Structure 1
Amino acid sequence: MIQNTHYCVEYLKNAGPRIVGFRLRGSDKNLLAETPGEGWKTAHGEYRLYGGHRLWYAPEQPDLTGFPDNDAPLVETLPNGVELVQAVERITGLQRALRVEMEPDGREVKLTHRLENQSPTEMEIAPWAITMLPPGGTVILPQANAPLGNEFLPNRNLVLWPYAHWNDPRVIVKEDHLFVRGEDRGQLLKIGYYNPYGWAAYWHAETLFCKRFAVLPGANYPDRGCNLEVYVNSHYAELESLGPLERVQPGKCVSLAETWEAQPAGRMPEDLEEAWLAAARLCGHLSVEGEGM
């Protein structure tokens, strides 16, 4: 475990790299989902979900992207954090690493996800940071408006997976933001889109969680142009940030950085516009500068 004035972050020493706990200092409430008994079989052994946060990569290939990471990673202690380095995967030739850092009194937790190509051939991959959150909350996502003077070009997308439905009531579309209810409706849900602002929030119980990530306009993002994806089932909701697809030569690596921030916020307002403004303020959204940021 690492901790500072504001947070406690727990990681696995016997598997991973994985973060399994994220708590406000002084609280025993885990802001991440806990799924210790869940997993699935792959051609290379059982993949255990564990819960929390993991490093994935795109394009998704179930038996390779989900290569079992049940062995202990190398744990390197850093001045303000820790780095977890997985052994090279014998099938893919990839080595996954996750660095977690936070200043002693910092309000942000910085995560750096790294994929290193240790195979003899070039790979085209994108790093993919998946944060599993407890069910019952609401995802809050910023969306672009059409810029003046450029009304003839599309500037928004919404991507659905085969098991998702356009009329799913959990997805609420507003003019410049989206809501996704992280609740069980008897069917799976996954959507993705290009998020130009580089943040996403999750309001659960009385805590507001913000994930921030780098955005590269014009980059070749996977999954029909998605740099942010949301997945919901009966056990958890996922906030997933993605880097662009890159050709990675042997011995080279690709990385994705993101930051987390959380704060007590009370129950989410029934007025969705109030909830949007609260999330936008926490995450530093420019459109609410005039609202008291």
Structure 2
Amino acid sequence: MGKVTTNVTEYKNFGKCLEIANGIVKLLVTIDVGPRVINYSFIDGENMMFEDVNKDFSESGPAFDKFGGGTWYIYGGHRLWTSPEGMPKSYYPDNEPVPYELIENGAVFKPAAQTWNQYQFEIAITLDPDSSKVSLTHKITNCAAWDVKLAPWTLTVLSPGGFEIVAQPTKDTGLLGNRLMALWPYTNMMDDRVTWGNKYIGLEQKSGHPDKFKVGINSEHGFAMYFNHGDLFIKQYAPIENGCYPDGGMSFETFTNALFLEMETLGEISSIAPGASVTHNECWSLFQEARPEGYCEKTIDALVEKYVK
């Protein structure tokens, strides 16, 4: 029977982080800023998360606008946001220390409520003692005196050089369409990083590529896979069939640029009363599995059968 340990440690230029480990994998969650799950890796493995290791975080992406006397930084790793995205609403600076509470096999991270948006974010993270499985519960509370309309949105910013597989809907809907898609103004459908398969979409992160790319889908199967460093990261959630999702019905979105690739899952968009909350759950896992050569959906099917089903 394994054991989960927690320990506060200094990590690169991110300051203090809480390490959650079980002898198989480890997570590092920033507590001087954020929070961000800035590291998820095997104990002696390479980090699956993108890290902005610039000293002042000034080169992690485009120049973000000032908001409320501070600047939002991507930092990297995994974060909680709200959808639909907006400027400056989405880019509220989260550069202050993060209160947290230890729980069985993990911790709950609860930064101060956002002064202008009046949202209270909370992420509960637990690690299975005997495997790489991580459970994340994301919670958003409306601290305002009026209703707010939003969807929880969780973005996992992954390290460069990897290859993503996104499962498309496969339900037989007869004469009706079964696959919805959202494309952003900068998305080029002829982009050489994307493979439009029959059951899956493949997306490669190419360091230094000059263009951004983003696509959203009405996910049916609720998972995506990312191969990098000889390992396989799997992110899972539970999409609701015909749910009311942002961006035209998208519960899964993915983005890449010159620096990283993002896996993004979304909860339903709803009106939240004062003092009420919404939650959104994810499950992560990590396996020692190298990226298969080429693009073959039978090979992908076998990996899905082995690691997801």
Same fold (TM > 0.5): yes
**d(CA) in 2 for partners of 1:271, 1:194:** 22
**d(CA) in 1 for partners of 2:307, 2:83:** 26
Residue 11 of structure 1, aligned match among 10, 17, 29: 29
Which residue in the other structure is 1:101 paired with? 126
Pair 1:55-2:73 in alignment: no
76-85 or 97-106: bigger deviation: 97-106
SS of 1:223's equivalent? helix
Pair 1:234-2:238 in alignment: no
Instruction: Read off the aligned partner of 1:33 and give its amino acid letter.
Output: F
Unaligned runs of at least 5 residues, structure 1: 286-293
Which residue in the other structure is 1:272 paired with? 296
**d(CA) in 2 for partners of 1:120, 1:32:** 37
**d(CA) in 2 for partners of 1:43, 1:119:** 19
SS of 1:126's equivalent? strand
Residue 47 of structure 2, aligned match among 26, 30, 33: 30
Deviation at 1:203, TM superposition (A): 0.9
Pair 1:263-2:279 in alignment: no
Equivalences for residues 108-127 of structure 1 within 5 A: 108-127=133-152
Deviation at 1:269, TM superposition (A): 2.0
- Structure 1 176/11 Cα, relative in aligned 2: closer, same or farther at 3 Å? same
Which residue in the other structure is 1:157 paired with? 180
Which residue in the other structure is 1:137 paired with? 162
Q: Give the alignment's TM-score, normalised by structure 1.
A: 0.92
Unaligned runs of at least 5 residues, structure 2: 1-18
CA contact (8 A) 1:56 1:65 kept: yes
**d(CA) in 1 for partners of 2:143, 2:100:** 19
Which residue in the other structure is 1:291 paired with? none
Pair 1:84-2:101 in alignment: no
Deviation above 6 Å: which 4+ runs of structure 1? Answer: none
**d(CA) in 2 for partners of 1:183, 1:272:** 20
Deviation at 1:208, TM superposition (A): 0.7
183-192 or 118-127: bigger deviation: 183-192
Residue 194 of structure 2, aligned match among 159, 171, 181: 171
271-280 or 88-97: bigger deviation: 271-280
SS of 2:304's equivalent? helix
Which residue in the other structure is 2:239 paired with? 215
Equivalences for residues 163-202 of structure 1 within 5 A: 163-184=186-207, 185-202=209-226
**d(CA) in 2 for partners of 1:246, 1:279:** 35
Residue 98 of structure 2, aligned match among 60, 73, 80: 73
Instruction: Read off the aligned partner of 1:255 and give its amino acid letter.
Output: T
Which residue in the other structure is 2:16 paired with? none
SS of 1:269's equivalent? coil
Instruction: Read off the aligned partner of 1:164 and give its amino acid letter.
Output: T
- Structure 1 105/138 Cα, relative in aligned 2: closer, same or farther at 3 Å? same
Q: Give the alignment's TM-score, normalised by structure 2.
A: 0.87
SS of 2:248's equivalent? helix
Deviation at 1:17, TM superposition (A): 2.0
Instruction: Read off the aligned partner of 1:16 and give its amino acid letter.
Output: G
- Structure 1 158/108 Cα, relative in aligned 2: closer, same or farther at 3 Å? same
**d(CA) in 2 for partners of 1:162, 1:194:** 19
Deviation at 1:282, TM superposition (A): 4.5
**d(CA) in 1 for partners of 2:236, 2:191:** 26
Deviation at 1:92, TM superposition (A): 0.6
1:132-179 Cα deviation digits (max 9, x unpaired): 1112111101112351xx421111022111111121122211111111
Which residue in the other structure is 1:290 paired with? none
**d(CA) in 2 for partners of 1:85, 1:76:** 8
**d(CA) in 1 for partners of 2:299, 2:255:** 21
Which residue in the other structure is 2:8 paired with? none
How many residue pairs get aligned? The number is 282
**d(CA) in 1 for partners of 2:184, 2:27:** 32
SS of 1:34's equivalent? coil
